[in-house]
Structure 1
Amino acid sequence: MKARILLLTAFLALTSCKREQKISSPEAVSISGLVQYREDRGTLHLKSGNFTYDITKNQVPFKKIILLNASMAGYIGELHAEDRIIGVSNPEYIYSEKIQSLVKQGKIQNVGSEQKYDIEKIISLKPDAIFTNHIASFDNTYQLLKNNGIQVIFLDEYLEQKPMEKTAYIKLFGKLLGKDREAENVYGNVEKNYAELKKLARTAKEKPVVLANEMYGDVWYLPGGRTSAAHFISDANAEYILKNNTDEKAVTMSFEEVFAKSGGVQYWINAGNHVSKKEMLGMNPFYGKLEVFSKGKIYVITGRENGQANDFFESGVVRSDLILKDYIKIFHPELLPGYQLTYMKALK
């Protein structure tokens, strides 16, 4: 009798355990501090910034999507899901040859621009979802789309300052497009490459000093010390002139302030989209006063451009490893002797 009671107790404990496992909420997947999602009882609960979404199982995977930002095309391209796109805004800013081909074939529609979206066309296309950065001044437009039963998902990946967190957005796109395995493979490969490249950079014998960005009018907008640019410079084992700054946004300085900090700078990166040092100097004669202009090396992010489209802002949002590889090649060319720059280009 005692044995039966013990057996019954053990059985009840086991079934209770199983029941608890079934009803317990699964852990959330954290993309970054801005974006997390979790699946619970057939619903995908997504938090992106200040916005939350409850996407039911019968709504996904999305088959028809519209992109209102060129950067998001990078994630779709890495998942080989261009055939899911039915509309884009400002197609002239999209670098992807496949998307451009689909636009020319009429399989992807031009739905306008940030100046004026073609709301009637968007509604007539009946997308499962629209992906866009949130712009407060467009809230009335977003509400009109929502009133017509269209899911508008705000993803502000441009705010992410840690390179691999920006890459991690591909996991969310994989979940929403039914391409989880493909997304995990892409992320895993980029993560592995990034870690190996970062380790390689640490073997360099020198740590060069770096200046970044350029002037607009009378103001130089430098990346803050905790921006993605600063992270890339640090991970490539170089020393950024604002390495001790703690801002996650641009820092404004006068030319005189930058000049005072630029002694010993060997590399100037992300220097706009200039075609030559001569053209650069013609636009701003002050640049000639910088030692790095005459004695150092200057790089721009125009290695993959096509008209107004720049792949640095497209596939580059996913391929953090390739961006890091470019910077390592620039700062420590001896570490990657056979590698040709992908997104960057040296100014002559």
Structure 2
Amino acid sequence: MKFLKLFTFLVLVLAQISCKQEQKNITQNKTNTLIKYAKGFDIQEIGKFKKLTIKTPYPNAEQALEYLIVPKNSTIPDSLKKFKIIETPIEKLVVTSTTHIPMLELLDSENTLVGFPNLKYISSPKTRARIEKNQLIELGNEENINTEILLDISPELLIGFSMSSNNKMFNTIEKAGIPVILNGDWLEETPLGRAEWVKFFALFFNKEKKAELIFNKIESSYNEAVEIAKKATSKPTVLSGVIFNDVWNLPAGESFMANFLKDANTDYLWANTKGRGSLSLSFESVYDKGQHAEFWIAPGHYNSLEQLQKANSHYSKFDAFASKNIFSFTTKTGVNGGALYYEMAPVQPDVVLKDIIKVTHPSLLKDYEPFYLQALH
């Protein structure tokens, strides 16, 4: 009898130790992030599962969104059922931004895409070929998706984006039984941070290793370009943005574009300002500081010097206008007129950086031809 009690006691003690050790391991795994540059999301391993945290699902978000990514038909412990569960691999997907398309194509997962709002805006030849074969369903527009058609095609997951926490359309879709995950890649501060969202998409197809290889290649190419830019013997001054509604909007000093200009070893004249978005300034203040800037990069959607001058005659007063050193990312378009830069550049930060380096430091990258950044004539 004493032996039985002792045996029972030892079993209970060992079970408690095992349980504590398992919880300890899970806690340790949680601290091992798989993300290097991106600030808006994180991936952590919890045993055989992965926890996806969307830290910044929309601007000024105060609360993160958490999901548990699990293989289909998994048994989920009660302690993890507090998370929203996403079963993988996803075979039927809907995304809502053209920037998501190249991510899917890099992962060879574009065939999982079954619907998209505003198909006409997609420029990718590979996905346009699927559209021509009626393999993608038109869902209306991203602000008012046709929920009847969406329910009819029954995707396993919808990846959306939002400007706030109050999105009635996505709430309705979730109530109908279709999981929704908000993608905040467009809020990233750095070029490599935005490109790293390929790892976010890889989670849903069990292609994490492939995504790691893809991103490592992008990272290596980008960092090589940064090192080339450091060889420049001068830092040309740069102006950016245009006037909209009587206000000049240009990148703030901690913004995505400001980081590109910094890595290209240029002197962006507003580099020391605070903020990750844009600055709203008067024409007078921009002119006072930027009239003698050597380069004017990203002048909105204008495609020629004539368009720029017709929009506002004061633009011609800048030195960069007189020297024809104004360069735009948006002149190269797809078959339906969509700017390739907005769709493809998020996964090609190395190409964008090389474009800027070639334009602002002509003696570097001698055999390189800019892809996105084109001079206005």
**Structure-1-length-normalised TM-score:** 0.90
Aligned residue for 1:274, secondary structure, equals: coil
Does the CA-based 8 Å contact 2:292-2:318 persist in structure 1?
no
Contact 1:77/1:96 (<8 A) preserved: no
Quick check: 84-93 or 47-56, which moved more? Answer: 47-56
* Contact 1:67–1:88 under 8 Å retained in 2: yes
Is 1:268–1:292's contact at 8 Å kept on the other side of the alignment? yes
Match of 2:338 in 1: 309
Say whether residues 1:289 and 2:289 are aligned partners.
no
Pair 1:198–1:125, CA change in 2 (3 A): same
Gaps of 5+ in 2: 1-16, 57-63, 73-86
* Number of the residue aligned with 2:132: 104
2:226–2:264 Cα contact (<8 Å) kept: yes
Answer with 305-314 or 254-263: which moved more: 305-314
- Alignment check: 8 A CA contact 2:189 2:255 kept: yes
Kindly indicate whether the alpha-carbon contact (under 8 Å) linking 1:43 and 1:56 is maintained by their aligned counterparts in 2. Answer: yes
Match of 1:116 in 2: 144
Q: Is the 8 A contact 2:236 2:295 kept in 1?
A: yes
Kindly indicate whether residue 69 of structure 2 is the aligned counterpart of residue 40 of structure 1: no
Matched AA of 1:242: W
Q: Is 1:319 matched up with 2:348?
A: yes
Task: Tell me what 2:222 maps to.
Answer: 194
State the one-letter code of the partner of 2:43: Y
Q: Distance in 2 between matches of 1:266 and 1:80?
A: 42
Residue 121 of structure 2 is matched in structure 1 by 93
Conservation of the 8 A alpha-carbon contact between 1:268 and 1:296: no
Q: Compute the displacement of 1:346 (Å).
A: 0.6
- The one-letter amino acid paired with 2:70 is T
CA contact (8 A) 1:93 1:310 kept: no
- Tell me by how many angstroms 1:245 deviates: 0.6
| Residues in 1 aligned to 2:374 and 2:295: alpha-carbon distance in whole angstroms | 13
Instruction: State the shift of 1:263 in Å.
Output: 3.8
Q: Report the secondary structure of 2:128's partner residue.
A: helix
For 1:346 and 1:144, the matched residues in 2 are separated by: 46
Secondary structure of the residue aligned to 2:217 is: helix
Counterpart for residue 329 of structure 1: 358
State the match for 1:51 in structure 2. 65
Partner of 2:183: 155
In structure 2, the CA distance between the partners of 1:125 and 1:251, relative to structure 1 (3 Å rule), is same
Q: CA RMSD in A?
A: 2.1
SS of alignment partner, residue 333 of structure 1: coil
**Per-residue Cα deviation, 1:179-226 (whole angstroms, up to 9, x for no partner):** 222211110011101111100001011110001111113111010001
Q: Distance in 2 between matches of 1:43 and 1:202?
A: 42
Q: Equivalent pairs: percent with the same residue?
A: 25
Could you tell me which of 84, 98, 106 is aligned with 2:112? Answer: 84
Query: Contact conserved, 2:324 with 2:376, CA < 8 A, in 1?
Result: no
Q: For the Cα contact (< 8 Å) 1:92–1:308, is it kept in 2?
A: no
1:137 to partner: Cα distance? 7.8
Query: Contact 1:220–1:255 (CA<8 Å) still a contact in 2?
Result: yes
- Distance, in Å, in 2 between the alignment partners of 1:38 and 1:137 is 24
Distance 2:303 2:40 in 1: 36
Aligned pair 1:164/2:192, yes or no? yes
- 2:357 maps to 1:343: no
How does the TM-score come out when normalised to structure 2? 0.84
Shift of 1:74: 2.2
Alignment partner of 1:178 out of 190, 197, 206: 206
Query: Which residue number in structure 2 is paired with residue 203 of structure 1?
Result: 231
Equivalent position to 2:98, from 57, 61, 70: 70
**Counterparts of 1:257 and 1:199, CA distance in 2:** 33
- Counterparts in 2 of 1:225 and 1:315: CA distance versus 1, 3 Å: same
| Aligned partner (choices 144, 158, 167) of residue 139 of structure 1 | 167
What do the CA deviations read for 1:41-64 (whole angstroms, capped 9, x no partner)? 443321113222123221111111
- Give distance in 1, aligned partners of 2:115 and 2:307: 37
> Structure 2: how far apart are the matches of 1:235 and 1:152?
35
Aligned-pair CA distance for 1:239? 0.4
Residue 24 of structure 1 aligns to a residue whose secondary structure is helix
Q: In structure 2, how many angstroms separate the alpha carbons of the residues matched to 1:116 and 1:188? A: 37
Q: Which runs of 4+ in 1 moved over 6 A?
A: none
Structure 1 residues 49-58 or 188-197, which shifts more? 49-58
Gap regions ≥5 residues in structure 1: 1-15
- Residue 11 of structure 1 is matched in structure 2 by none
CA distance in 1, matches of 2:154, 2:49: 22
Query: How big is the shift at 1:296?
Result: 4.7
2:75: which partner in 1? Answer: none
The aligned residue for residue 33 of structure 2 is 28
1:193 aligned counterpart, secondary structure: helix
